[in-house]
Amino acid sequence: MPCLLAYPNIDNLPIAMEQIADTAAKINMRQVLGAFMVFLSAVCFSSKAVIVKLAYQYHVDTISLLTLRMAFSVPVFVVTGFFSKSNKGAQSGSISSKDYGWLILMGFIGYYLSSLFDFLGLQYISAGLERLILFVYPTLVVLFSYLFLGKPIYPKQYIALGLTYAGVLLVLLGDVHVESRANIIKGGLLVFASAITYASYLMGSGQLIPKFGTVRFTSYAMTLAALGVFMHYLIAGEHNIMALPTPVYWYSFLMAMVATVAPAYLLSEGIRLVGAGNASIIASIGPISTILLAYVFLDERISFIQMMGTLIVLAGILLITLRKN
């Protein structure tokens, strides 16, 4: 009986076990909720290409559509950033004028140039192909880290790079029968330029986000990018933004709320609950989600070659993601 004598509160063991079970259930629900948020974020963000293609049916020019997207979404980011606790972060005193200069550059690259290239590319290629090309940005981060930061590329990453670009090539070959070769090349290069600028933004923002805070950094970057878009519209806009077909405004509002604002906050909260590594893996559903949405709303066909290429790309991205995490 010595064991029992060492634990005089043995009668409370069932209660303790019940508390442990409740705690485990709460942790499990936290993981499930976080995973669902990341999944929903990926689906919402993947709808952007489909909404853009729907708006293009009304012959709206790229910069007008991009301007409307910014006009609807930026006020939400600004208000959220203003009231965010991160405005009073402990690191705010360490922000220098050089940091603000980098912030302007990151906003210009990540939210203005990247979005502009993406919207232009969607004029020439399918929504599914656009999402697939854009989704290679993790491989570009690996390549840029090797070229500019001297970080080594491991054997598994070489395999991942080969798989990713082989998959994209396979999907490109599958789309040649649907789109003209000239459109495939032009649109593909534009979207690839979008992936390059977004990868550059991710690399550059890593040093700034801890100083500004995630919400405030995103708010500032979006606002600066919006100013660039608005100036671009004033200089080169082809249409009166107040005289566009009514559906264009609804699609722009939908794109701003569903495909821009909502996924940004869902992803941030999801990462907090499940971690960046798990979130990046769950977000891999993005290209498949776009293909399915494009099939339903745009009547874009899904061929066996395209699906195989998509799965190969996802395999390469997962190898990169798992290696990093």
Confidence (pLDDT) at 83:
77
List all residues 6 or more positions away from 289 whose beta carbon is below 8 Å from its beta carbon: 42, 43, 46, 47
Q: How far is CA 98 from CA 101, 102, 148, 211, 259, in A?
A: 5, 6, 20, 12, 32
Nearest to 312 by CA among 179, 150, 135, 155: 135
Q: Which domain holds residue 200?
A: 39-324
Is the predicted pLDDT of residue 221 greater than 70, yes or no?
A: yes
Within-domain flag for 217: yes
Angstrom distance (rounded) from CA 122 to CA 223? 24
The whole-chain average pLDDT of the chain stands at 82
Confidence (pLDDT) at 172:
77
- Please give the share of the chain, as a percent, with pLDDT higher than 90: 28
Per-residue model confidence as pLDDT tens digits over 35-55: 888 899 889 999 999 999 999
Within-domain flag for 29: no
Q: Which amino acid is at 247?
A: P
Q: Confirm if 70 and 229 have CB atoms less than 8 A apart.
A: yes
For the chain, what is the domain count? 1
CA 28 to mean position of chain CA atoms: 26
Is the predicted pLDDT of residue 246 greater than 50, yes or no?
A: yes
Structure tokens at 153: 């590329």
Angstrom distance (rounded) from CA 304 to CA 168? 14
Is the predicted pLDDT of residue 89 greater than 60, yes or no?
A: no
Query: What is the average per-residue pLDDT within 166-175?
Result: 79
Q: How many CB atoms lie within 10 A of CB 192?
A: 18
Is the predicted pLDDT of residue 6 greater than 80, yes or no?
A: no
Nearest to 113 by CA among 63, 168, 183, 56: 63
Helix (H, G, I), strand (E, B) or coil at 84: coil
Query: What is the average per-residue pLDDT within 190-196?
Result: 94
Within-domain flag for 10: no
Is the predicted pLDDT of residue 277 greater than 70, yes or no?
A: no
Confidence (pLDDT) at 7:
46
Within-domain flag for 118: yes
Question: Which string of b and e fits 152-183 if b means at least 16 CB within 10 Å?
Answer: eeeeebeebbebbeebbebbbebbeeebeeeb
Is the predicted pLDDT of residue 194 greater than 90, yes or no?
A: yes
pTM for the model stands at 0.81
Give the lowest-confidence range in 83-87, 94-98, 217-221.
83-87
Within-domain flag for 88: yes
Give the lowest-confidence range in 85-89, 268-272, 311-315, 320-324.
85-89
Angstrom distance (rounded) from CA 61 to CA 196? 23
Query: What is the average per-residue pLDDT within 191-196?
Result: 94
Within-domain flag for 20: no
Confidence (pLDDT) at 231:
93
HSE-CB at 228 with a 13 A cutoff on CA atoms is 19
Query: What is the average per-residue pLDDT within 78-85?
Result: 77
pLDDT band for position 286 (cuts 50, 70, 90): confident
Within-domain flag for 224: yes
Within-domain flag for 237: yes
Torsion of CA 88, 93, 96, 101, to 10 degrees: 0
